[in-house]
Structure 1
Amino acid sequence: MAFILLTLFIDILGIGIVIPVLPELVKELVGEDPIGVVDAAAELGPASQSAQESQSFSRAARYVGVIGATYALMQFLFAPILGALSDRFGRRPILLISMFGLGVDFLIQGFAPNIWWLFAGRTLAGIMGASFTTGNAYIADISSDENRARNFGLVGVMFGLGFTVGPAVGGLLGDYSLRLPFFVAAGLALINWMYGFFVLPESLASEHRSDFKLSNANPLQSIGRLSAYPIVAALSVVFVLRSLAQRGLENVWVLYTGFKFDWDASANGWALGLVGVMAIIVQGGLVRPVIRRLGERRTVVMGTIIATIAFAGYGLAPSGWMIPIIIVFGSLGGLAGPAIQSLVTGSVSETEQGKVQGALTSLISLTNVVAPLLFNTLLFSFFVSDKAPFKLPGAPLLAGSLMLSIAIVISIRVFRRFPQKSKSDDPIDEAESVATKASSAELATDS
């Protein structure tokens, strides 16, 4: 277990390191000035420089959105394929190929001479990054009924630590060079590959392996199973709206703070590190007592209301010093995710848990594809360009707040349509047990 946890942590750390600098590198690659437009703008004065800067951010946002969507699409398509291949050939070879591929991929991105090389690198990163499915399967292989929940909880901790330390380190490295974080990430991935090659054993015995079937690699097949559980199908809409808003925030964050507050990679790294710290505190320390006190349904509504206010605050904040305060407050909105997971878990039979969770994971993967295109390529790109009727860089975040408002209305209607069966919103002991598992799952999912 220690081997695979360290493997996952290094992978996550490597991915987290490049988060603060990727949009800046895109802006650099697409902001080349072969005909002297920037120099001409500088001669015309500050107003022209501001317009040129707006166009630079707008153009970069379009590319960042397409690159982010392609990365997520590759993960969506290849996660079940790599999972099925690991069922056929074992976990170890798939993990080793993915680790080595990530190392090579980060080198491609670090040396990328133009945007198309970076695009190719991020496409490969999406394919190789789909190995997390194999990592989860590895943990399932080596876990017993007694320690399975604890082991997957440790995975959530690794995600939280990786996405706390990674962006902070990436921000500091990005101050020296926008490409340095990619080379460090490549080194971590290749060290991870060597570690796995010499240390990581195979977890799947040959007698437990199955033939590879393309039907088992269909990522859309499981979503239709949600219709068998009406309350789960209804809550999945809330789940999708929350996920879409969250993924959109993550994708547009660096461009937004850079445009509005002139934050550099270091400032974004520290801010994203604070997000990770607060996620660990909320998911690890507050979920159980809050759900035990309020119940799952009230926690869903309360958490989503807090998230709605936080998104509006991000979009309307006039000064950068307000953002850390909003991060601390908005982290409480993360309570809603585990509460929804707990409601879903309590509404599904034990034999269907894996299929339903797989369907929700597929839905999240789809929001990962849509969010960059909607928040970056369409909204942010338009509202910072000269085509917009007025400059509103916070438009994507306000759109996220609107999505969350709709999620509040839907969740209230769902709870009225499917009233609780007992006087208590949820039994204390059951809520505590389920919330613990859901908290770990939510942290890993959000990461």
Structure 2
Amino acid sequence: MKSDTSAQGDLRERGGMLSQPKAVWAVAFACVISFMGLGLVDPILPAIAEQLHASKSQVSLLFTSYNLVTGIAMLITGVVSSRLGVKWTLLTGMLLTVIFAALGGTADTVGGIVGFRAGWGLGNALFIATALSAIVGLSTSGTAKAIILYEAALGLGISVGPLLGGELGSISWRGPFFGVSGLMLIGFLFILFMLPKIPKPKKRGSIADPFKALSYPALLTLGIVALLYNFGFFTLMAYSPYVMHLDEHGLGYVFFGWGILLAVTSVVVAPKIQRRFSTVSSISVMLTLFAIDLGVMAVGTINNSPTTVIVAVIVAGIFLGINNTLITTAVMQAAPVERSTASAAYSFLRFLGGAISPWLAGKLSEWYAAETPFYFGAAMVLVGVIVLLFRRRHVASIVIDGH
């Protein structure tokens, strides 16, 4: 006869993805708002560059400061959450986002915006590292389905963010910053009143924990792959708006389409691929297709065909949506450590790639040609595939819900 603990585990695995406690939905809603902040600024990048008389590489520092601080701050999220608890770590991160997003909207220089985006990144780190582990821990449907729900929230936020950013940005480039601040305040209230107090872990975390987690070859491999493919991801996010030659509304619609495909494929397609193919093969194929898609963006830029770039950007959502779910699910199983520690260690490497690539994309276009950032992003994504295949023995043993 099975033990009570085992039986409870079976019930958790049998629960449907949508059959979740209210606390899970509260965190998921806050995730949507948090990830809206990532894409909300996309439609206003050209407007900021024009109105504040800044270069592409200078404006791209909005992503660099945000991602750099997010990545480094991931190293302390375990320390903070083990002392404050999950709920108050989430609330602290959200409050920092509310404050610094609003301050970003008051800035009059690119340097000011970049600085406030750094503070926003600190709040983002505290929130997202804790949110993923909270959703997985509170979910009644098992790890894989909980992560799909998290990725769905990510995709929804990324898709709605640019649409709202385009609408608010058409009024003023400051609008999206105030929009994020207001929405995150709503999410703050949801978490405050709907999330129960979660017991603090018995063992307090340390800054060394994420580095120890990276000593496990599978987690280190996935982190390196994510660092490399983020060169392509943030080239798309931070640089493609400049070569599509659209206004704020147009850019908002393009990234809305991209985000919708990302959300749908992460929820509907990725689980089917997980069940049918191996983790290594699935991630390798998706990243290779994404690299080819970046190459198409480069060709469209060379031929002065914004339509080609627009279509390629939207299509990229398919490959990125599937890959995000596959790699995030694998990360949660990649090392025998706390989920929040695994997420923090992986995200540390991932966001470092996201910090370097936006600035470098702008510089490459200034140093060489408009299409160069896309070629470089594609090359880095392919290097990520090579690393994954070369170290596949470390990742091949990861079991996802019995597959």
Q: TM-score range by the shorter chain?
A: 0.7 to 0.9
1:71 to 66, 76, 94: 66
Q: Deviations over 1:406-434 (max 9, x none)?
A: 3444455555x88989xxxx9xxx66x46
Taking structure 1 as reference, are residues 382 and 4 closer, same or farther at Cα in structure 2, changes over 3 Å only?
same
1:94 to 84, 89, 104: 89
Residue 375 of structure 1 aligns with an amino acid whose one-letter code is: A
CA drift at 1:170: 0.9
Kindly indicate whether residue 215 of structure 2 is the aligned counterpart of residue 225 of structure 1: yes
CA drift at 1:358: 4.5
Matches within 5 A, 1:202-241: 202-205=196-199, 208=201, 211=204, 216-218=206-208, 221-222=211-212, 224-227=214-217, 237-241=224-228
Identity in percent? 19
In structure 1, what is the Cα distance between the partners aligned to 2:128 and 2:245?
A: 34
1:382 to 359, 367, 371: 367
Q: Deviations over 1:15-64 (max 9, x none)?
A: 533332145324422x1xxxxxxxxxxxxxxxxxxxxxxxxxxx522222
In structure 2, what is the Cα distance between the partners aligned to 1:126 and 1:339?
A: 25
Taking structure 1 as reference, are residues 266 and 412 closer, same or farther at Cα in structure 2, changes over 3 Å only?
same
In structure 2, what is the Cα distance between the partners aligned to 1:275 and 1:323?
A: 12
Which residue of 2 is the match for residue 371 of structure 1?
A: 357
- Contact kept, 8 Å, 1:15 with 1:166, in 2: the verdict is yes
Which residue of 1 is the match for residue 258 of structure 2?
A: 275
Kindly indicate whether residue 400 of structure 2 is the aligned counterpart of residue 404 of structure 1: no
Q: Deviations over 1:390-447 (max 9, x none)?
A: xx212111111222333444455555x88989xxxx9xxx66x468xxxxxxxxxxxx
- Contact kept, 8 Å, 2:278 with 2:396, in 1: the verdict is no
In structure 1, what is the Cα distance between the partners aligned to 2:30 and 2:328?
A: 27
Q: Deviations over 1:57-98 (max 9, x none)?
A: xx5222223332221121122234244222212233333333
- Contact kept, 8 Å, 1:173 with 1:181, in 2: the verdict is yes
Which residue of 2 is the match for residue 11 of structure 1?
A: 34
Residue 81 of structure 2 aligns with an amino acid whose one-letter code is: S
CA drift at 1:108: 1.3
2:305 to 299, 315, 319: 319
Residue 252 of structure 1 aligns with an amino acid whose one-letter code is: Y
Taking structure 1 as reference, are residues 342 and 323 closer, same or farther at Cα in structure 2, changes over 3 Å only?
same
Which residue of 1 is the match for residue 14 of structure 2?
A: none
In structure 2, what is the Cα distance between the partners aligned to 1:167 and 1:76?
A: 23
- Contact kept, 8 Å, 2:151 with 2:325, in 1: the verdict is no
CA drift at 1:341: 6.0
* Corresponding residue SS for 1:225: coil
User: Which has the greater radius of gyration?
Assistant: 1
- Contact kept, 8 Å, 2:62 with 2:114, in 1: the verdict is yes
Which residue of 2 is the match for residue 200 of structure 1?
A: 194
CA drift at 1:194: 3.7
- Contact kept, 8 Å, 1:238 with 1:410, in 2: the verdict is yes
- Contact kept, 8 Å, 2:41 with 2:162, in 1: the verdict is yes
- Contact kept, 8 Å, 1:82 with 1:134, in 2: the verdict is yes
In structure 1, what is the Cα distance between the partners aligned to 2:44 and 2:298?
A: 21
- Contact kept, 8 Å, 2:147 with 2:328, in 1: the verdict is no
Q: Give unpaired runs (5+ residues) of structure 1.
A: 32-58, 384-391, 436-447
Q: Give unpaired runs (5+ residues) of structure 2.
A: 1-22
Residue 262 of structure 1 aligns with an amino acid whose one-letter code is: H
2:43 to 13, 20, 31: 20
In structure 2, what is the Cα distance between the partners aligned to 1:201 and 1:342?
A: 24
Taking structure 1 as reference, are residues 203 and 66 closer, same or farther at Cα in structure 2, changes over 3 Å only?
same
Which residue of 1 is the match for residue 238 of structure 2?
A: 251
Q: TM-score w.r.t. structure 2 length?
A: 0.79
In structure 2, what is the Cα distance between the partners aligned to 1:65 and 1:190?
A: 26
Q: TM-score w.r.t. structure 1 length?
A: 0.72
CA drift at 1:374: 2.0
Q: Deviations over 1:230-283 (max 9, x none)?
A: xx65565444322322233222222x32xxx42121111111111111112322
* Corresponding residue SS for 1:85: helix
Two-structure CA RMSD over aligned residues (Å) = 3.4
CA drift at 1:354: 6.8
- Contact kept, 8 Å, 2:71 with 2:349, in 1: the verdict is no
Q: Deviations over 1:90-134 (max 9, x none)?
A: 233333333233222222111212223212211211111112223
